[in-house]
Amino acid sequence: MNHLTKRQKIAAVVTLVLALAFPLVFTDTFPIHVLILVYMFGVLGMGWNIMGGYAGMFSFGQAAFFGIGAYTSSFLLMNFGVNPWIGLVVGGITAALVAAAIGYPCSNLRGHYFAIASIAFAEIVRVVFNNWKLVGAAEGLSLPMLDESFANFMFHSSKLPYYYIILAFLLIAIATCYFVATSKMGYYFRAIKESHEVAEVLGVNVVRYRLIAIMIAGFLSAMAGTFYAQYILYIDPESVMLLPISVQVVLISMLGGAGAVIGPVIGAAVLIPIAEYTRITLGHQGTGVDMLIYGFLIMLISMYQPAGVWGLLSSIGKKVK
Amino acid sequence: MEEQLLQQIVNGLLIGFMYSLIAIGLTLIWGVMNIVNFAHGDMLMIGMFTSFWLFTLYGVDPLFSIPVCFVLLFVMGTLIYRFIVSKVMKGPMLAQVVVTFGVSIFLSNLAVYFWTPDFRLLPPTMLDGTWEIGDIILSIPKVVASIGSVIVSLCIFFYLKKTKTGKAILATEMDRESALLMGINTDRINSLSFGIGSALVGAAGGFLSTYYYIYPQVGGLFGTISFCVVALGGFGSIEGAFIAGILVGLTQTLGGYFFDPSYKYAIVFGIYLITIWIRPQGLLGW
């Protein structure tokens, strides 16, 4: 992984300025809401990218980490009045610990086997939360109304603060991913992805680095989860732990380009607006049209463009040079 | 108390034979191509709906629909292999893992789109009612479905062990390169195994539709369970899948009996996670 070229630096700065200025120009709630979702899924995608795109652990269970983050901070806020920002950190750490606890026994699993284990894990977590009276079981949790302030991580009159907070989260996630990709760790991850045996022979501690990758992913996903809880103010297992969320995360990363730092952001920026738009034009939720499109896209990308949009762009870029 | 326990064991066996048949189809595809068919559960759903619509539109008894499900799903499986799966066999690992996942989401939501997410139930078939043996109550449709599943499982077992094509499939499963050198057309074997694996789950769908709820997302549950069954039995092992199916059926009902019924699937998945930790190759894998 080489460092950024001059052109890439300019592109990054321009994109950031556009993102910062966007809500000042477009003041409607809907586009801002869509972008908030884009950034939130960008954060989730970054987490997936680190463990899936770099370290080769293709997880279909990210919703479990997302849900754990959302539940931890909400539960602490409701029962002990813990500030959501502290809840965010506690939720992240909880998710990372759960990730380590599940990642350790799965440390020999690769490819398909890991994917299935991740589904089974997410399913267990969902069933447990669905029946756990302490966290509201199937009824979920409604967050108490707090005064509007940054310290309370709660705003009622405008979506703008949420917009900037999740944008900041996304930048943290991108920075984490960039750091991972450009550090020695990134090389270890990619070696592990190519072959456990070769990585081991080269002296990479496979189990340890896989655990690190999965814990970072758990933390980032849980951050997005807490954000979601604070933004929607209501969570239940159906809304934060269902398989479609995990699928969306995988699709976003793949569509953008798994194993490229900026991949998930591109994927989220392409997919989320399409999904939201189809949901509005082709009817209410529950008709399955958005998922139908996801399924179709996953098939197409795997067959014809497994490197995603980023892979396409960079191959064009090379030809231009 | 004891009767209840016995009843749960019987129930576990009945659903277990069903799991065995579903899992044999999956393990066959897995063993031959090293591809997990994530759409396996959704093919089960297609089988169930086939039987549902044949009854609703033409009044065909579900028991007669089973061969139709078998053939239809064979064709569908072959087509999915030809036009989708074979395209990613040489691609990157990620593409191989997620492609059938895409098929799965596509199929289940296509069903939601056309047939709504409602739960449906077929009226009783010509074989209906219950038997009572002592204090144990046996529902006849479940018994018929289980016996049918065992018969189909045995047929496929003998097909694989005794016929020339069957042996070619097993040879490809053991060692693809050597099989190719022996003059086996492994691409044809791939396509055939995908077809047979799908046909088996189609037949299972036909059996299951006689007493189970029919809805577009039914495949999610059965699919995930069948992954656990296959992992437990050993990837690619037909005998393993058969035994593991029964074990998982028993785990589910007994787990529900001793703990809490709402956790019964969580217990199954938990057993799966423990198995792959302690013995990644499964009970009969190598």
Place of tokens 């997990």: B36
**Nearest-5° angle of CA B99, CA B101, CA B105?**
125
User: What is the reported pLDDT for B59?
Assistant: 85
**Spatial contact of B213 and B30, defined as CB atoms under 8 Å apart:** no
pTM of the model: 0.85
Of A111, A120, A294, the CB nearest to B269: A120
Residues 238-257 of A with CB under 8 A from B: 243, 247, 250, 254
DSSP-assigned beta bridge partners for residue A234: A142
The phi, psi pair for A155, rounded to 5°, reads -140, 135
- Closest residue in A to B235 (Cα–Cα): A113
Distance of residue A196 Cα from the nearest chain B Cα, in angstroms: 14
Q: How many residues does chain B have?
A: 286
**How far apart, in whole angstroms, are the C-alpha atoms of residue B184 and residue A62?**
41
**How far apart, in whole angstroms, are the C-alpha atoms of residue A249 and residue A59?**
9
User: What is the reported pLDDT for A47?
Assistant: 93
Of A109, A299, A302, the CB nearest to B106: A299
In a domain, A1, yes or no: no
The burial class, CB within 10 Å (0-12 / 13-18 / 19+), for B268 is buried
**How far apart, in whole angstroms, are the C-alpha atoms of residue A233 and residue A16?**
28
**Interchain contact B105–A (C-beta under 8 A):** yes
Task: Say which CATH number the domain at A252 has.
Answer: 1.10.3470
Of B36, B91, B231, the CB nearest to A306: B91
Specify the 3-state DSSP secondary structure of B21.
helix
Q: Which residue type occupies A283? A: G
DSSP-assigned beta bridge partners for residue A154: A149
User: What is the reported pLDDT for A1?
Assistant: 46
User: What is the reported pLDDT for A201?
Assistant: 85
DSSP class of residue B214 equals B
**Spatial contact of A289 and A278, defined as CB atoms under 8 Å apart:** yes
CB contact under 8 A, B220 and A243: yes
Q: Which of A243, A303, A310 to mutate to test the interface with B (most CBs of B within 10 A)?
A: A303
User: What is the reported pLDDT for A45?
Assistant: 93
Give chain A's domain count.
1
CB contact under 8 A, B109 and A292: yes
User: What is the reported pLDDT for B286?
Assistant: 58
**How far apart, in whole angstroms, are the C-alpha atoms of residue B209 and residue B44?**
10
CB-CB neighbors (< 8 A) of B103 in chain A: 295, 299
CB contact under 8 A, A296 and B36: no
In a domain, A235, yes or no: yes
Q: Which residue type occupies B56? A: T
Specify the 3-state DSSP secondary structure of B217.
coil
Q: Which CATH number fits domain B2-278: 1.10.10, 1.10.3470, 3.10.450, 3.40.50?
A: 1.10.3470
User: What is the reported pLDDT for A4?
Assistant: 72
DSSP-assigned beta bridge partners for residue B138: B131
In a domain, A182, yes or no: yes
**Interchain contact A296–B (C-beta under 8 A):** yes
CB contact under 8 A, A298 and B272: no
Work out the average pLDDT over B34-39: 86
Place of tokens 């008894």: B61
Of A121, A127, A286, the CB nearest to B265: A127
User: What is the reported pLDDT for B285?
Assistant: 67
Work out the average pLDDT over B32-56: 91
Q: Are strands B136-139 and A234-235 parallel, antiparallel or unpaired?
A: unpaired
Element (H, E) at A142: strand A141-142
CB contact under 8 A, A295 and B99: no
**Interchain contact B58–A (C-beta under 8 A):** no
**Interchain contact A286–B (C-beta under 8 A):** yes
Distance of residue A188 Cα from the nearest chain B Cα, in angstroms: 18
Q: How confident is the model at residue B267 (pLDDT cuts 50, 70, 90)?
A: confident
Residue B48 token pair: 């169930």
User: What is the reported pLDDT for A18?
Assistant: 86
Place of tokens 């599943």: B149
CB-CB neighbors (< 8 A) of A287 in chain B: 112-113
Give the DSSP per-residue string, A146-174: --SBTTTTB-SS-SHHHHHHHHHHHHHHH
Distance of residue B21 Cα from the nearest chain A Cα, in angstroms: 19
CB contact under 8 A, B277 and A105: yes
**How far apart, in whole angstroms, are the C-alpha atoms of residue B63 and residue B148?**
10
**Spatial contact of A222 and A66, defined as CB atoms under 8 Å apart:** yes
**How far apart, in whole angstroms, are the C-alpha atoms of residue A64 and residue A240?**
8
**How far apart, in whole angstroms, are the C-alpha atoms of residue B149 and residue B245?**
11
CB contact under 8 A, B262 and A130: yes
Contacts of residue A17, Cβ cutoff 8 Å, sequence gap at least 6: none
Specify the 3-state DSSP secondary structure of B100.
helix
**Spatial contact of B97 and A112, defined as CB atoms under 8 Å apart:** yes
**How far apart, in whole angstroms, are the C-alpha atoms of residue B140 and residue A28?**
61
In a domain, A216, yes or no: yes
CB contact under 8 A, A306 and B92: yes
Domain boundaries, chain B: 2-278
Specify the 3-state DSSP secondary structure of B211.
coil
CB-CB neighbors (< 8 A) of A301 in chain B: 95
Q: Which of A48, A282, A299 to mutate to test the interface with B (most CBs of B within 10 A)?
A: A299
In a domain, A121, yes or no: yes
At residue B281, does pLDDT exceed 80?
A: no
Is B193 or B97 the better-scoring residue by pLDDT?
A: B193
The phi, psi pair for A303, rounded to 5°, reads -80, -40
**Spatial contact of A119 and A60, defined as CB atoms under 8 Å apart:** yes
At residue B66, does pLDDT exceed 60?
A: yes
CB-CB neighbors (< 8 A) of A116 in chain B: 36, 224, 227-228, 231
DSSP class of residue A259 equals T
- Closest residue in A to B106 (Cα–Cα): A295
At residue B172, does pLDDT exceed 50?
A: yes
Distance of residue A288 Cα from the nearest chain B Cα, in angstroms: 5
What would the 3-class secondary structure string for B145-156 be?
Answer: HHHHHHHHHHHH
Contacts of residue A296, Cβ cutoff 8 Å, sequence gap at least 6: B102, B106
**How far apart, in whole angstroms, are the C-alpha atoms of residue A7 and residue B82?**
43
CB contact under 8 A, B112 and A121: no
Q: Measuring CA to CA, which residue among A179, A154, A38, A164 is closest to residue A87? A: A154
- Supply the range of the domain harboring residue A71: 6-320
**Interchain contact A109–B (C-beta under 8 A):** yes
**Interchain contact B272–A (C-beta under 8 A):** yes
CB contact under 8 A, B99 and A299: yes
Specify the 3-state DSSP secondary structure of B120.
strand
Sign of CA dihedral A15, A17, A20, A22: negative
Mean of per-residue pLDDT scores for chain B: 87
- Closest residue in A to B90 (Cα–Cα): A303
The ipTM estimated for the assembled molecules is 0.81
Sign of CA dihedral B195, B201, B206, B209: negative
Specify the 3-state DSSP secondary structure of B138.
strand
Q: What percent of chain B has pLDDT over 90?
A: 35
Angle formed by the axes of helices A160-182 and A6-25, to 10°? Answer: 170
Q: Measuring CA to CA, which residue among B14, B21, B13, B15 is closest to residue B154? A: B21
Residue A233 token pair: 């103010």
Chain A / chain B CB contacts < 8 angstroms: 142
What is the pLDDT tens value at each position of chain A, 321 positions in all? 456 778 778 888 888 888 888 888 887 888 888 999 999 999 999 999 999 888 888 888 899 999 999 999 988 888 888 888 998 999 999 999 999 988 888 877 777 788 888 888 888 888 888 888 887 777 888 887 777 777 777 777 788 888 899 999 999 999 998 898 888 888 888 888 888 888 888 888 888 888 999 999 999 999 999 999 989 888 888 888 888 888 889 888 888 888 788 888 888 888 888 888 877 777 655 567 778 888 888 888 888 888 888 888 888 877 766
**How far apart, in whole angstroms, are the C-alpha atoms of residue B279 and residue B207?**
32
Q: Report pLDDT digits (tens) over B185-214.
A: 888 898 999 999 999 999 999 999 988 899
- Closest residue in A to B83 (Cα–Cα): A303
Q: How confident is the model at residue B169 (pLDDT cuts 50, 70, 90)?
A: confident
Specify the 3-state DSSP secondary structure of B39.
coil
